[in-house]
Structure 1
């Protein structure tokens, strides 16, 4: 699945790359070159980040599923226990 940015996010990413080059590199980078570099990052590195995000979401959902069984667990055959708990216990005969 190719990673794509919407038009506004893409433009902001290109501007961010241009600023980075202007402040940290010997030469500035043009709009077309920044767009090509962004495409490279999206294709080459983007899937790693995407897959990590999916793995993080799966781990979080798995944890929530484990919590769910604890949070909503109901004891079975508990009707008589509420009566038995209130009964006085007979002392054992000697």
Structure 2
């Protein structure tokens, strides 16, 4: 399985956001280690579902674009007049 590695700066920002969420929504204080562990859990358990959803969205977008390109190519075709 693909392990997602976040850049250090992004990981720190997300950890801080988790801590902020716990303060605001749950009136709890959690340390940076607990917040980082929660982040790792979410990435491991929920990340693949979100990733697969994003891949499916990208697949749909590419297929729609390919259909548009195919339609545009058909529109460029020149009529062929059969000579008798």
Give TM class, smaller chain. Answer: 0.7 to 0.9
Aligned residue-pair number: 80
Answer yes or no: is the 8 Å Cα contact 1:3–1:47 preserved in 2: no
For residues 39-50 of structure 1, the aligned pairs below 5 Å read 39-50=40-51
Q: Which has the higher helix share?
A: 2
Where structure 2 has 5 or more consecutive residues not aligned to the other structure, the ranges are none
Where structure 1 has 5 or more consecutive residues not aligned to the other structure, the ranges are 82-94
CA displacement at 1:80 relative to structure 2: 4.0
CA displacement at 1:3 relative to structure 2: 1.9
- Which aligned runs of 4 or more in structure 1 are off by greater than 4 angstroms? none
CA–CA distance in structure 1, aligned partners of residues 81 and 59 of structure 2: 41
CA displacement at 1:26 relative to structure 2: 3.6
Answer yes or no: is the 8 Å Cα contact 1:4–1:42 preserved in 2: no
For residues 13-92 of structure 1, the aligned pairs below 5 Å read 13-73=14-74, 74-75=76-77, 78=79, 80=81
Deviations 1:64-83 (A, max 9, x none): 0011111122335x2548xx
TM-score normalised over the length of structure 2 = 0.85
